[in-house]
Structure 1
Amino acid sequence: MTGTRPYDPERDDLAEIVTLVHSAFAQYRGKLEPESGALTETVDSLRKRLEKNRLFLAEDDGRISGAVFATQKGDAVYLDRLAVDPEVRCRGIARRLIETVEAHARATGAARITLGVRLALQHNIDYFQRWGFVETGRQAHAGFDAPTSMDMEKWL
């Protein structure tokens, strides 16, 4: 049974979460320009993220199987670094993490959830569209002339 919960610094090991993020994003290594920043996360970088972000975890039979960051930005909560262990994908873990971020956003009074997704990852764009996210713009990473990512949002 999978459940979700907030990160607990007394209980959770950031090294385990870094390993999860690297494993979840490994399929994109060498396929994205620029490379995904998720592949360079470290215990220190996650600790720094936690200064301004909430981290929610999914558990599957007592082990961490997914993670997602949520950051309050004005009237929105930004969903970031959605990661699911490849060994347990297609079991609704990503959906539960998104629902957890939605519940968090509502509890904080946010009007919407926003996120960014790489244009090269059409399957991810399709996934978020199925959950009610719509495109709101496109961005180019530093050093690129053409857009490399899509901004999306879902009104609550």
Structure 2
Amino acid sequence: MIDIVIADEEFDDWQALLDLLYAAFAYMDARIDPPSSLQLLNTETIIDKAREETLLLAWQGSRLVGCCFLKDLGEKIYLGKLAIDPQTQKSGVGGLLVGFAKTIAKSRNKKIIELQSRIELTEVHDFFRHHGFRQTGTTAHKGYDRPTSITMQFEL
């Protein structure tokens, strides 16, 4: 059984959260250019991010198996850093986190959930399309003359 919760002030296992993120995003290292912004996160920056955004955690018993961050952007919520433990991927945890994010967005009267995914990660695009998201644009990281990410949205 998987429990999805909003992290509260009692959550303090920041290293476990970082380990989960690094493990879940490791496969991207050889595939994406530029490198993931995950490399900028450490214990201090992840704590700050969790204070500024809503951190969702997926637990299987006492084991952290997934997470994502929700950032308030006025009429939108930005869904970022969706990560599933590699041993748990394809078990439905990602869908549970996305579903919980939709519930939160609705309860906060948001109109859209938005995210960005790297151009190269077509399987990630497929995952979000399966959950009702559609591509709405592309962006390029600073210094790149080609699209490096796609923007996807889910209308509530």
Please classify the TM superposition score into its range, dividing by the shorter chain length: over 0.9
Q: Give the aligned residue type for 2:52.
A: K
Superposition pairs of residues 17-96 of structure 1, within 5 angstroms: 17-96=17-96
Structure 1 equivalent of residue 135 of structure 2:
135
Distance 1:89 1:39 in 2: 21
Contact 1:21/1:39 (8 A) holds in 2: no
* Pairs within 5 Å for 1:90-105: 90-105=90-105
Percent pairwise identity? 29
Conserved in 2, the CA contact under 8 Å of 1:58 and 1:67?
A: yes
Looking at structure 1, the residues matched to 91 and 25 of structure 2 have their Cα atoms a distance apart, in angstroms, of: 18
Q: Distance in 1 between matches of 2:105 and 2:4?
A: 15
TM-score of the two chains, using structure 1 as the length reference: 0.96
In structure 2, C-alpha distance between the alignment counterparts of 1:92 and 1:83, rounded to whole Å: 12
- Matched with 1:148 is 148
CA distance in 2, matches of 1:74, 1:150: 21
For the residues of structure 1 that align with 2:2 and 2:25, how far apart are their CA atoms?
21
Distance 1:120 1:98 in 2: 21
Q: Distance in 2 between matches of 1:79 and 1:22?
A: 18
Asked if the contact 1:138–1:147 (Cα under 8 Å) also holds between the matched residues in 2, the reply is yes
Partner SS, residue 65 of structure 1: strand
Q: CA deviation at 1:47?
A: 1.2
- Superimposed CA distance per residue, residues 52-107 of structure 1 (whole angstroms, 9 cap, x where no aligned partner): 21000000122110000001101111000000000111111000000111111011
Structure 1 segments of 4+ aligned residues over 4 angstroms from their partners: none
AA matched with 2:139:
Q
